[in-house]
Structure 1
Amino acid sequence: MNVSLGTPPFPIMAIADTGSDLLWTQCKPCEDCYTQEDPLFDPKASSTYKDVSCSSSQCSEFGTRASCSTDKTCSYSIAYGDRSHSKGNVAADTLTLGSTNSRPVQLKNVIIGCGHNDAGNFNKKTSGIVGLGGGAVSLVSQLGDSIDGKFSYCLVPFTSEKDLASKINFGTNAIVWGKGVVSTPLIKKSPETFYYLTLESISVGSKKIQFPGINSGTSEGNIIIDSGTTLTMLPTEFYSQLEEAVASQIEAERQEDPQGVLSLCYSATADLKAPVITMHFDGADVKLDFSNSFVQLSEELVCFAFRGSDDLSIYGNLSQMNFLVGYDTVSQKVSFKPADCAKM
């Protein structure tokens, strides 16, 4: 998503991430950073930038992820599920968001991270991350009552024309309504950063596979929805059943993923007739398109975009593309509506 930081406003392109809280960008001087195409944000060039002190309440909201620098300013260190990380200064500055009525909205004293040491799986077209999680320092929490706990996004598929940015809305514009909308409850669990949903089962064509623990009632909030994770991750045993069901309905020769990340792959040139995958959340059946359930890794290879993991179960962004996904943290629900995100 596109935002601007500082005064005068400096544009940055960042990844909208519902699985983390902090809004950070790479900053000058960058001691050890990944390569980005856009210029780096220079805190010295912003008249409204200020480092946050160690004794401030803003610093204490970071908990164990904050530490005190020698000059008594607050530093942060954050690590992501894919082992990417960012380290730098906790600061406050003015954030400018584009608006539907074309007049930009300025938000003063937004807590940000000024990253001086960042590495991992970051795209060189992006300068950082906008954390949209449920924690205290996330942009959603900082916007507070002004957005009434509501935001939505529509993720443009990777196969679309390259320069199309995905749209994000806050407040009344974020309400997802109309034909085809389904909603599922948001479950409050720890850590508060994550948005937990309840996945009851997954259908492969007409074959329904039940998520572990559904009958024993231990499954409430068994999966998080995360716009910053690519694949959908499921418990290993459950994933094996899912993969077996998908493979049994595809008449094509299996191929190997040379990276060894995905286990169900086929030749991209084969005329794949894949079964329809439906995610059965509590109260909401979300029917996936082929581009949600399979990802093209190269000109030769297409793979099932789910994998087994016994850590956290995650509903990743490939599964969410071409859906208008609305979060309402006041009514405690997430809504899905099929959409052509490139046209929005």
Structure 2
Amino acid sequence: MAYDLFHVVIIIFLVFLPLHFSPIKANTDVSFSINLIRKTSPKLFPQRLRGLSAMSGTPQSPTGAYLGHYLMELSIGTPPFKIYGIADTGSDLTWTQCVPCNNCYKQLNPMFDPQKSSSYSNISCDSNLCHELDTGVCSPQKQCNYTYAYASGSITQGVLAQETVTLTSTTGTNILLKGIMFGCGHNNTGGFNDHEMGIIGLGGGPVSLISQIGSSFGGKMFSQCLVPFHTDVSVYSKMSFGKGSEVSGEGVVSTPLVAKEDKTPYFVTLLGISVGNNYLHYNGSSETVEKGNMFLDSGTPPTILPTQFYDPVVAEMKNQVAMEPIVDDPDLGFQLCYQTKKNLHGPILTAHFEGADVTLEPIQTFISPKDGVFCLGFTNTSSDVGIYGNFAQSNYLIGFDLEAQVVSFKPRDCTKNTES
């Protein structure tokens, strides 16, 4: 599926919405955390969890914010090899650049070399696993090749394989997850920066990391706490998985996940947005809204609204900000920007999801693409379906519970790196 998302220039940003979505299951009530820097038979993916008997504390691995994305650290292979991939709830396939890489973008860290890992194994095109990803095709060597494309124009091509993923608990105990399916990318192009070694697919589809490891940790559920844009790269937040990652307590609001044919995106229903005290209905004069008209995507920085809804939101923002906006500067990448030496004091927005009102302070709605300039981190699309991007998701503990089919929000200073 492809959406007409980006007719806006944002050099450092990518929209990680795959053009191909697809389907994994791994049983213990164990949760783990990852610090933050898209129906499969269980027979295909046997029990993968190792080393739990000696484990105490919460398993985790670091990830932090960098240029509008959230880089999540995982270790793959034997011995463990660290990769830093974009944490992306809008796609399913987890992949990293692999040696040999004849047509790849530049990355600072060494690339993963399958020949140096004793636990690496290519997936045969005769295996049922090859068909779990829609784009899996057979090579002359009987390997399962894949092509995975994103709406941003980025493409990864390579071989589907299985590896051991290692997570580390807070007590230093290693947790080994064996037989995790991933893409070993040998031909990767697009607007990636040199810190990004691939993408960690956290969507709801069968081949996502969430679906693969869910049964190992008590269910398909996870929570994230994203630090705001421009947070120092040394500040980490946490992502937690499995039973125990549920978001609960005072101040929590929840909205239903909406099931659609495409299992990857986390669809929710946005009823409207309030700018200050002025409520704007999603469908303008219409009394009803379509269920599942937005989805939450940690791999897309701005919030993207259908043009007929975006225009009145921007108009109302202009009415309530006591400054004249910058006119005609396409290099900023956003349509509504202001020049000020101090932080912009704009109105509070409230996203009215079905059953959940989520308030957004200026730090979550206005971003600074360059010194002295603040821009509304929203843009528009001709599609009827919008995206709730990672700018707006910051400073909230957000729980995705695929078992209960709800998304929960709890206000949180994510820079404090506290437990959920």
Scaled by the length of structure 2, the TM-score of the pair is 0.79
- 2:336 corresponds, among 264, 269, 272, to 264
| Residue-by-residue CA offset, 1:267-326 (whole Å, 9 max, x unaligned) | 032663311111000000000121111110101321100111123410000000111110
| Residue-by-residue CA offset, 1:242-284 (whole Å, 9 max, x unaligned) | 0000011111121143326310001032663311111000000
C-alpha contact (below 8 Å) 2:205/2:264 kept by paired residues = yes
Match of 1:94 in 2: 164
Match of 2:291 in 1: 220
Are 1:340 and 2:418 counterparts? no
Cα displacement (A) at 1:341: 1.1
C-alpha contact (below 8 Å) 2:320/2:347 kept by paired residues = yes
Report the Cα distance in structure 1 between the residues aligned to 2:409 and 2:390, rounded to whole angstroms. 13
Q: What is the percentage of aligned positions where both structures have the same residue? A: 45
C-alpha contact (below 8 Å) 2:282/2:289 kept by paired residues = no
The within-5 A match list for 1:156-167 is 156-167=227-238
Are 1:305 and 2:363 counterparts? no
Secondary structure of the residue aligned to 2:364 is helix
Are 1:128 and 2:201 counterparts? no
Are 1:197 and 2:265 counterparts? no
Change (3 A) 1:60 1:213: farther
Report the Cα distance in structure 2 between the residues aligned to 1:111 and 1:228, rounded to whole angstroms. 20
Report the Cα distance in structure 2 between the residues aligned to 1:189 and 1:101, rounded to whole angstroms. 40
Report the Cα distance in structure 2 between the residues aligned to 1:126 and 1:308, rounded to whole angstroms. 26
The within-5 A match list for 1:233-244 is 233-244=304-315
- 2:391 corresponds, among 315, 318, 324, to 318
Match of 2:216 in 1: 146
- 2:345 corresponds, among 273, 277, 282, to 273
| Residue-by-residue CA offset, 1:70-115 (whole Å, 9 max, x unaligned) | 2110111111121111111100010112324431211001001001
- Please identify, of 196-205 and 78-87, the stretch whose mean Cα deviation from structure 2 is larger: 78-87
Secondary structure of the residue aligned to 2:258 is coil
Match of 1:53 in 2: 124
Change (3 A) 1:314 1:69: same
Letter in 2 for 1:91: A
Are 1:44 and 2:115 counterparts? yes
Runs of 4+ in 1 over 4 A off after TM superposition: 213-218
Secondary structure of the residue aligned to 1:173 is coil
Cα displacement (A) at 1:55: 1.6
Cα displacement (A) at 1:149: 1.4
C-alpha contact (below 8 Å) 1:252/1:270 kept by paired residues = no
C-alpha contact (below 8 Å) 1:181/1:337 kept by paired residues = yes
- 2:154 corresponds, among 81, 84, 94, to 84
Unmatched 5+ stretches in structure 2: 1-71
Report the Cα distance in structure 2 between the residues aligned to 1:98 and 1:14, rounded to whole angstroms. 17
The within-5 A match list for 1:61-80 is 61-63=132-134, 65-80=135-150
Aligned residues: 343
Match of 1:247 in 2: 318
Are 1:328 and 2:398 counterparts? no
C-alpha contact (below 8 Å) 1:252/1:272 kept by paired residues = no
Report the Cα distance in structure 1 between the residues aligned to 2:322 and 2:287, rounded to whole angstroms. 36
Secondary structure of the residue aligned to 2:310 is helix
Cα displacement (A) at 1:218: 4.9
Letter in 2 for 1:47: S
Letter in 2 for 1:106: L
Secondary structure of the residue aligned to 1:297 is strand
Report the Cα distance in structure 1 between the residues aligned to 2:237 and 2:103, rounded to whole angstroms. 29
Report the Cα distance in structure 1 between the residues aligned to 2:392 and 2:352, rounded to whole angstroms. 13
- 1:188 corresponds, among 249, 259, 279, to 259
Report the Cα distance in structure 1 between the residues aligned to 2:358 and 2:92, rounded to whole angstroms. 26
Superposition RMSD in Å? 1.6
Instruction: Answer 1 or 2: higher relative contact order, Cα 8 Å, separation at least 6.
Output: 2
C-alpha contact (below 8 Å) 1:264/1:304 kept by paired residues = yes
C-alpha contact (below 8 Å) 1:251/1:273 kept by paired residues = no
- 2:302 corresponds, among 222, 226, 231, to 231
